[in-house]
Amino acid sequence: MPIRVLHTIAELRAELKGQPAVGFVPTMGNLHQGHLDLVKIVRPRASAVVASIFVNRLQFGPNEDFDRYPRTMEADVRALDSVGCDVVFAPDERELYPLAQGYKLHPPAELADILEGQFRPGFFVGVATVVLKLFNIVQPHAAAFGQKDYQQLMVIRHMVAQMALPIEIIPGPTTRADDGLALSSRNGYLGPDERAEAPQLYALLRRMAERVKAEGLGAVPLIEADAAASLAARGWKPDYLTIRRRADLKPAASPHEPLVALAAAKLGSTRLIDNLEI
């Protein structure tokens, strides 16, 4: 069956009626191998796989890149078709937000106002609201989210648990270029020199991970400060480089808690994020 591209909620519901196991990959388009890997992860568990493409204005700040976010629908549909996606759901704003979205989901501040939420106020309100709405529309049994957006995955997992949504959330490992750079739609903003520099973010996360293993939790403040200083010395503007416990991204209290190193920094005008479980 050729892939179906549907633009309305009514068409999507009609298409999915009777499907015993819907797998879902929400995206904002401009797809790269990381997104396609998420489709491959849900494919074996689903009778039908849906990917959504919707650049969600609600999760962008006023000075962020909503207007210039790349829209590449035809290439995206071809790529999704090549990995066995059945349905692309690509609503326009009038379909998804026919009225200004007055009902919004506010994730708890302790999860959503730290790290990404501190530097992108309102981001997780926008993400949680659109993901909940998409879940209600698609009614998936399983949905895949990339681990590159580590905090987003955590917020969605908490939302699904607290709201008792009958959806299995499947994490997808970060897909990387050969030089280690995590694949991201925003990598397309990088000029050639910036692209050559960009893998340093992951290199630094690896160094942070090695140091915390060697020096212990007590050294975390120094490791974080050194990492920020060395990135700044290379011309980046770091937002955060930090080592947290995986469960809730708070500072770790004991050496037995599983850890993750997380980073966000601007290279020129492009903001990159990445993380590494330790």
Structure tokens belonging to residue 159: 């939302």
At closest approach, how far in Å is the CB of 27 from ligand PAF? 5
Q: Respond yes or no: is residue 106 known to be catalytic.
A: no
The number of C-alpha atoms within 13 Å of 176 and in the hemisphere containing its C-beta is 19
Residues between 185 and 244 with contacts to ligand PAF, criterion CB under 6 A: none
Q: Residue 27: in which H helix or E strand, if any? A: strand 22-27
- Binding test (CB under 6 A) with ligand PAF, winner from 26, 107, 172, 238: 26
107 makes contact with ligand PAF (CB under 6 A): no
At closest approach, how far in Å is the CB of 14 from ligand PAF? 23
Residues touching ligand PAF: how many (CB under 6 A)?
A: 10
Q: Which stretch binds ligand PAF (CB under 6 A): 113-121, 127-135, 228-236, 243-251?
A: 127-135
56 makes contact with ligand PAF (CB under 6 A): yes
CA distance linking residue 260 with residue 11, whole number of Å: 41
28 makes contact with ligand PAF (CB under 6 A): yes
127 makes contact with ligand PAF (CB under 6 A): yes
At closest approach, how far in Å is the CB of 137 from ligand PAF? 13
Cα dihedral 170, 34, 66, 274 sign: positive
Choice among 7, 32, 35, 141 that is catalytic: 35
According to DSSP, the β-strands at 259-267 and 237-245 are antiparallel
CA distance linking residue 35 with residue 143, whole number of Å: 12
149 makes contact with ligand PAF (CB under 6 A): yes
- 149/274 with CB nearer ligand PAF: 149
Among 177, 172, 176, smallest CA distance to 41 is for 172
- 29/208 with CB nearer ligand PAF: 29
DSSP structure class, residue 49: E
Cβ burial of 150 (10 Å; 0-12, 13-18, 19+) is: buried
Catalytic residue positions?
35
Q: Which residues bind to ligand PAF, rule: CB under 6 A?
A: 26-28, 56, 59, 127, 130-131, 149, 152
